[in-house]
Structure 1
C-alpha cells in the first residue's frame, strides 16, 4: 500500500465533521468561524475535532509526528482534491445528512 493510499484510508475512517473541518481549515484555508458554520459545530468543538483527528492520523502512522507543519498536511489533503466525496458540496451534504439521521433517532427516543 502506498503512503497516499494509507493516508486516504485512515482519513476516510475519521468522522465526517472532522474530515470536513480538516479539508475546510487546511486545504481550503477557511477561517475557523466559517468552518464551524459549515460543519455545524462550535469553533471550540472544531478545534478539538481537528486536534483529535490529527492525533489519530499520527497514531496511525500516516502523518509525521510533530512538528509536522500545516503545509505538510495541506500537501496530503491537496493530493485528495480530485476525490468527489471531499468536495465542499459533498462534505457539507454529508454533515447535514448526519445531523438529519441524528435528529430522526433523537425524535424516536422521545
Structure 2
C-alpha cells in the first residue's frame, strides 16, 4: 500500500529523541519512498533520513523522467545511489507501507 506523507509537516520540538513523531518517522527508515520534484522528475529509493528543514535522503535511488514533453511519453531512468532532495524542490512524497503504518502516518499530517 502507498501512503502520501508530507515530511515537512513533522515538527521536531526540543527533545527530538523522545518525540512520538520522531518515533513514527523512524519506522519509515528503509521503506521505499517515491518523491516527486517541481520539474517533473521522480526519485524512488529507500528512505534514509530527513532533517529539521524537511530535506530527504534516499539510498539506492533511481531517477525517472519523461523523455518528451508530450503525453504519453516514455520514461527514462538512471541509477543515482545516495541523493539529497531539498524540501524546496519536493512536490510529492509517497511511502510504500502496510495498512497499520498508514493509519499511524495519518496522525503526522495534523
Q: Fold conserved (TM > 0.5)?
A: no
Shorter chain as normaliser: what TM range? under 0.3
Question: TM-score normalised to the size of structure 2?
Answer: 0.28
Question: TM-score normalised to the size of structure 1?
Answer: 0.28
